[in-house]
A and B are shown apart, each in its own frame.
Chain A
Amino acid sequence: MSQQRPLLIPSQRTPGKEELPYTPVLLKSISENSKTFSRMDSNSNSQFENENSPLPDFIRNTSSQRSTSSIQSIYSKASSGHSPLPEFIRSTSSQRSTSSIQSIHSKASSGHSVREVSFELGSKPSVRHGSMGADSERFGSSYKEINDQDARLVYPNDPEKTNEKFEFARNSIRTGKYSILTFLPRNLFEQFHRVAYIYFLAIAILNQVPQLAVFGREASILPLAFVLLVTAVKDAYEDYRRHRSDNIENNRLGWVLVNDQFQQKKWKDIRVGEIIKVSANETLPCDMVLLSTSDTTGVAYIQTTNLDGESNLKTRYAKQETQMKNPEKEKITGLIKCEKPNRNIYGFQANMEIDGKRVSLGPSNIILRGCELKNTNWALGIAVYAGRETKAMLNNSGAPSKRSRLETKMNREIIYLSIFLVVLCTIISVCHGVWLRRHKEDLVLMQFYRKKDYSEPDVEDYNYYGWGMEVFFVFLMSVIVFQIMIPISLYISMELVRVGQAYFMIRDNRMFDEATNSRFQCRALNINEDLGQIKYVFSDKTGTLTENKMEFQCASIGGVDYSGGKAMDEDEQTGYSTRVDGQVFKPKMRVKVDPELLSLSKQKHTDEGRHVHDFFVALATCNTIVPLAVETSDPDLKLIDYQGESPDEQSLVYAAAAYGYMLIERTSGHIVIDIQGERQRFNVLGLHEFDSDRKRMSVILGCSDDTFKVFVKGADTTMFNVIDRSLNSNIVKATEDHLHSYSSNGLRTLVVGKRDLSASEFEQWQSSYEKASTAVMGRAALLRKVAYNIENSLSILGASAIEDKLQQGVPEAIESLRNAGIKVWVLTGDKQETAISIGYSSKLLTSKMTQIVVNNNSKESCKKGLEDALVMCKKLTNDSDTTRGNSGARTTEIALVIDGTSLVHILDTELEEKLFEVASKCTVVLCCRVAPLQKAGIVALMKKRANEMTLAIGDGANDVSMIQMADVGIGISGQEGRQAVMASDFAMGQFRFLVPLLLVHGHWNYQRMSYMILYNFYRNALLVLVLFWYALFTGFTLTTAITDWSSVLYSVIYTSLPTIVVGILDKDLSRTTLLRYPQLYGTGQRQESYNGKLFWVMIMDTLWQSVAAFFAPLLAYWESDIDGSSIGDLWIIAVVILVNLHLAMDIIRWYWITHAAVWGSIVATFICVMVIDALPFLPGYWAFFHVADTKLFWACLLGITIAALVPRFVVKIFIQYFRPDDIQISREAENVKNSRESRDAEIEMNPIFNPPRR
């Protein structure tokens, strides 16, 4: 079995598990314990009756619970279920407040995304993402002793001494970025991280030089000031909200030990070193080392929803040394030496010296700010990190910033435009130079160059700096005049448009997941349009394609296959339940049971029965599941809810419960299992947690009969290495057969084994275990070694098979994506057979495909395998080439199946190239048994070589690296926590939402954005060209007929709104059409809406339009008494009308908003021009009213508009008519269909997923 996916804990948490939470108990005490408990077991029923105190009693005195028996503590856990309402209110409110902080933060950071350096391919992900550091299996710091310099010393209950030497951060938090004083400088500083703003500023500064002043000073500063102001106001408002929520957070109250008494203190006053008491359902104010809890064994359960989004309970442990102490009565003295604050929420390393003993502390001993205490009445802790140094605050980073491909492509055109700008400026300045030279003689007579008194021979220069300088100045001045050639407003418009697009994506009902109540999330705002150009989708399997809701399906026990569960009628099944003290306990989830196995599980004395017994005991004990009793409406009935971090384990425990092996209670020291109505207690003496090296976990149990047993469960690959085949080879063989058949049915399998330990073996293990777990250096490695020693020569118990159901709509979604020309790759940690079977059920693989399997374990064989595959690919494609001509058969589709071991030899070697060649010929690629980093490696390979857009989608922590590597990363907010979501650019609830996301929103976003960029280039170039032409008629001195204010307002008021509205709202095709013809997605992949050709066509069009707009009035007013201001008004109005009508010609869907924006802009322009011309202190006073009074003006306007737009119109209609693209055809089809439908009044629902066959 090859569960690459960790069974217990996602691998990123492994470093956190290096220290085991269980404090070894001395052998003597164990045997004592087990004796007492065996006695208890024998008459358990009566004893329970006696000891059981009813619940209400319990509610009354929760705080005095410390001394109640461990049996009671199960009720105490259950008690949280008793008062559900307050808990719920509290939890939501706290969640809300925190989430609002986070969302603000992410918004803020995305707002400045331009300045953020985009995430480079090769750079280490861990640098950027705190939690990623935990991804590496061996987390360096856990091995080394904490140096004194690197350590933080905390004296428990002595904040003065603790803070004496180093002033540690107080607990007040400040997510606000600015204070009133620092707002202006800091905000400006941050805003000027944008290159565009610096360009703006440079131009504005240039304009302040008297010799260069082209625009009025105000006019040149205004746009920049406006943009800065808007952003500043937005930032200020966001910061105000942050401050407000900070304030609320800081003023919350917590119980702090002061002078040996717990007093209420505001959160912000809590200091490092203080002892804090937290009650159930309260949020933790800071990061604390657990001292003691209400549970006698020192267990505390916490919910980390606010931290990492995982809502299952996690167990944290107080050390035995401190658990017994009551700080109110006896002073705790000691020293905690812990690492410097860092953002790794799954790692913590510290030592505690207490009572002269040195105890090591690990991640399971610390509880973090933002988490909530659950199922534990109270917990005491020492604050070690406070305020901004808490891990929660350190992790409060925004969404990753990526740059969209369109924007990258756009940069090339920006460079062209810059060259164009320089060319224009050069022309002007050279011409000016020539003009000056030719009029050299006359210059003396020109008052504006020389001040000459004709009566005197002396010549005085007036602002004349010599020929060279004049040319240079003219060059700079022309840069100022033509500055908007580089469309700075485009960057702002693009951001606004992206926000709008994101709004629509988030609000899309079709991407709302009812099951998890989660909307679509846009975490990165920069790459919306990339969604329209995806060529490769890399998908995780579990939790992405499948639901990750595990269902126990069948088992092979002792070589016998029990898989009749499905046959049972569900109604007849009551499910297993047990009665205790008149209370019925029932597992919350029902599992279909195999009747034969059920009856076997009840007989204890046959051989088979014993096997079955051991098997289920293994399932019930060998896990980290925490049982919780949940109240129901029936006061006598309680549901047992199994909380755990691995869905596989949950399903196994539920299965065990269904067969009568119900896990009732778990503390750190023991487990109570109800076996067919009889409670049995097992002492958990040690637990070797899952790690991805061993791929198995084991538990060492002390049974009631003083025997010691090791139960191991894990992936088949590693399990068969440690199973002693000689013991019962038949069973091993039969189990292997069953495993094979299970996995080819797409089931996830686990093998269970056990071994009885002799007393000496046990003692030997215990001493080494103890040594290892208290070791300060290399604890994890030592523990692993101990685990290796104990996990061997096991006897096989059986194997379990769990079904991982496909998510709704996955096969259809995959087919749609494939029809859209997107290659879907599945990268999974599952084994080959499972992966292939899921491939078939998800329609990823079809029977028509030829499968090529590369499954080798050496470099040479890999090479050979790939070469063979390549030959085969070529042969197949050649075959289809030859057959295509006559039969029209479609190309043979090839599927490549490759496994992780082969990939080890391929990735990062020269074989990559071969793999790429093979893979690019295949329609489908399945990678199985891949490690998280290999996933990223594959994505990187395709991204690098294919130069195509890649998308990675996954739900688990193991997908994080892949998600960050791909151009677009999508996280599924599913069962495996929020790691993937945190790292992703977009997050959604289900895999099938990928179809509307890419085919509909992606397509729209791409079309809109690419049109908008081209249009913005055109828009600004048109005005610049008109200004340029005029400069040729002014002695190359850059006089502008168009007033400064108009040229400033041009991109702010006159033309900005329509392009934004169109960028957000226009749709080329309806959703239905896009979904019906997924092939339409190809326009984005082929970059049909934005490419060099379109750019140059656009430039040509712009040239013509500018010529028409400029020269028509020029010639019409040639040798007339027209003044500069009037003709300037004509030009600006003509340009604005042209620009808006040009847009109107390309708008596909006219909403009232579009109408308002387009016509409104033209009207606004007229109004602005009138207002400007009504200002008496401007030279152009009243010019517009004079010129608009003449018919010539209107005749010019009409002529310009038509003459300028006719070429574009004609080219457009001829292209649409003779060389229609797919979008055009589909648009027409939509319209034709609509008119037909309205005629026939016939409403027909279109089947969405019914694309025509190629």
Chain B
Amino acid sequence: MVTIRADEISNIIRERIEQYNREVKIVNTGDEASQTISKKSKKPQYSRFTQQELPACKPILTPGLVITTLISIGIIFVPIGLGSLSASEHVVEIVDRYDDACIPSNGDDEAAKRERLSFIQNAKTNKTCIRNLVVPKKMKHPIHVYYQLDNFYQNHRRYVKSRSDRQYRSPGSEGDTKTCAPESEVDDHRPIVPCGLIAWSLFNDTYGISTKDNPIPINKKDIAWQSDKNSKFGSNVYPKNFQKQDPVGGGKLNESLPLSEQEDLLVWMRTAALPNFRKLYGRIETDLEADEKITVVIQNNYNTYSFDSKKQLVLSTTTWIGGKNDFLGKAYISVGGTCLFLAIAFILTYVIKPRPLGDPAYLSWNLNSATR
């Protein structure tokens, strides 16, 4: 007979037994007994997050809110619309399509077309063309001089992709012309700088503007983005082998100027989003008076005749909304007007047929029993 070392064990046992007694119900069934005792409760910790009771804002569309929203949209939109319409009204724009006028033959048949092509592709023909324009309204400086090309897919996938931004940035990557095909290198495998179809097809018509008294200078500085000049095109990358080989697509570059200085190129390289686009040619820094007659001397070099394209010269002032465009103003006014109309309609329906919010009588099961 050995006595138990009672003090040691029995304390432990006592604790355990108390637990047993507490859990006696569970123990009775013979299940989970040891687990319940041995494991601490697995009850999930209460937190507002886990119980999905986080404080929340739950707005509902009360009639008041709806009407306020619609009316305020109307109140904001209509003035903006009116403002932009009037801004658009204030824009003075001279648009002159000259591609047909500046070419000898204008027939629609094949022969005329061939003639046009041979004229434009022949480097020796005199392509100077003089256009007389009238200023309809007083134009305040700066007056932007744009050339506009229509139906010219500068956003054609093959066209857009045919460039090498690496090459334009640093002279070290001059051979990086893989993406430029087919205008990547000249026949003896020397790379073309700047390579690619976009640069190759550089627009090269020139405009000279004068009133009857004196020429109006066109400022061609800062027509390209400053960011392009600073970072995108290298100031130490010079044109090489450019337009040295048939076919010649467009303008040539001054090989002594780095790319970053060739602003026309930079403007042209910002490919347009849409098939009808304008590009900035320069700015006139003087005002033009109403009814003033101006003469534009155009060197019609650029070939748009091989595809159905149009060339236009645009002189335009700008406002905060950009050029002349009524769309935005009209759109704003119609959206604002619609909202005001809807607000009124909603007020009317609310007055004619009010429905109290949260009325249990409208619950489907209540409705059903009511109709039955």
Q: Which residues of A are in contact with B by a Cβ distance under 8 Å?
A: 54-57, 60, 82-85, 87-89, 91-92, 95, 305, 310-312, 439, 442, 445-449, 451-455, 462-463, 503-504, 506-509, 512, 514-519, 548-549, 588-589, 630-633, 635, 641-644, 647, 650, 654, 884-885, 888, 975, 1033-1035, 1037-1039, 1041, 1065, 1067, 1071, 1077, 1079, 1082, 1112, 1114-1128, 1148-1153, 1176-1179, 1181-1182, 1185-1186, 1190-1192, 1195-1196, 1198-1199, 1202-1203, 1206, 1209-1210, 1212-1214, 1216-1218, 1220-1222, 1225-1233, 1252, 1254
Contact = CB atoms under 8 A, between A and B. Distances in A.
B232 interface: yes
Interface string B5-48: 01001101110111010001111111111111111011111100
B279 A1121 contact: yes
Q: Which 8 A-B pairs have the closest CB atoms?
A: A1229-B358, A1228-B358, A448-B158, A1182-B227, A1037-B157, A507-B50, A1149-B56, A589-B28
A1229 B271 contact: no
A1123 B331 contact: no
Contact of A1203 (B57, B166, B271, B331): B331
Contact of B148 (A1039, A1119, A1181): A1119
Contacts of A1152: 54
Given A88-B38, A1123-B272, A1222-B363, A1186 B227 contact: yes
A633 B13 contact: yes
B334 to A, nearest CB: 9
A635 B10 contact: yes
B357 A641 contact: no
Contacts of B339: 1202, 1206
Interface in B148-168: 148, 153, 155-160, 162-163, 165-166
Given A311-B30, A1124-B272, 14 more contacts: A448-B162, A449-B158, A508-B50, A509-B44, A514-B41, A1039-B156, A1079-B365, A1115-B331, A1118-B325, A1119-B323, A1121-B272, A1123-B270, A1176-B231, A1192-B320
19 contacts: A447-B200, A512-B42, A517-B36, A517-B39, A633-B14, A633-B17, A644-B30, A1112-B327, A1119-B323, A1122-B272, A1124-B160, A1150-B56, A1150-B59, A1186-B225, A1195-B321, A1203-B331, A1222-B363, A1232-B358, A1254-B365
Contacts of B46: 509
B359 to A, nearest CB: 7
A448 B369 contact: no
Given A641-B30, A650-B30, A1149-B56, A1195 B328 contact: yes
B242 interface: no
Contacts of A1233: 358
A442 B166 contact: no
B146 to A, nearest CB: 6
Contacts of B162: 448
A1037 B50 CA distance: 51
Contacts of B215: none
Given A447-B200, A1177-B169, A1202 B41 contact: no
A1150 B32 CA distance: 42
B125 interface: no
Nearest to B279: A1121
B280 interface: yes
B26 A1212 contact: no
B351 interface: no
B328 A1119 contact: no
A1193 to B, nearest CB: 10
Contacts of B301: none
A88 to B, nearest CB: 4
Q: What range describes how many residues of B lie at the interface?
A: 35 or more
B262 interface: no
Nearest to A626: B30
Contact of A55 (B4, B66, B338): B4
Given A633-B18, A1116-B325, A1185 B28 contact: no
Contact of B364 (A56, A589, A643, A1222): A1222
B273 A85 contact: no
B211 interface: no
A201 to B, nearest CB: 24
B181 interface: yes
A57 B269 CA distance: 99
B172 interface: no
A255 B42 CA distance: 35
B159 A588 contact: no
A50 B165 CA distance: 104
B232 A448 contact: no
Contact of A1115 (B37, B246, B327): B327
Interface in B311-334: 320-323, 325, 327-328, 331-332
Contacts of B160: 1039, 1124, 1179
A517 B41 contact: yes
A455 B80 CA distance: 57
Interface centre among A1071, A1121, A1198, A1226 (most CB of B within 10 A): A1121
A54 B273 contact: no
Given A517-B36, A1206-B339, A1213-B66, A1117 B273 contact: yes
Nearest to A630: B20
Contact of A1179 (B16, B165, B349): B165
Contacts of A589: 24, 28
Contacts of A650: 28-30
A507 B247 CA distance: 73
A1225 B32 contact: no
A631 B6 CA distance: 13
B156 A1034 contact: yes
Contacts of B31: 310-312, 516, 975
Interface string B65-91: 010010001000100100010000000
Contacts of A506: 44
A512 B201 contact: no
A1114 B274 contact: yes
Given A504-B50, A1231-B358, A448 B30 contact: no
A462 B307 contact: no
B364 A1195 contact: no
A1034 B155 contact: yes
A89 B38 CA distance: 8
B183 interface: yes
A1252 B360 contact: yes
A1008 to B, nearest CB: 11
A57 B332 contact: no
Nearest to B267: A1121
A1227 B359 CA distance: 10
A1212 B61 CA distance: 9
Nearest to A451: B182
B359 A1225 contact: yes
B30 A1119 contact: no
Nearest to A1126: B273
A1221 B44 contact: no
B14 to A, nearest CB: 5
Contacts of B332: 1195, 1199
Contacts of B182: 447-448, 451, 462
B232 to A, nearest CB: 5
A1251 to B, nearest CB: 9
A1025 to B, nearest CB: 17
Contacts of B320: 1191-1192
B273 A1122 contact: yes
B286 interface: no
B60 interface: yes
Nearest to A628: B30
A463 B161 CA distance: 13
Nearest to B28: A589
Contacts of A445: 306-307
B106 interface: no
A629 to B, nearest CB: 13
Interface string B163-187: 1011001000000000001110000
Nearest to A1114: B274
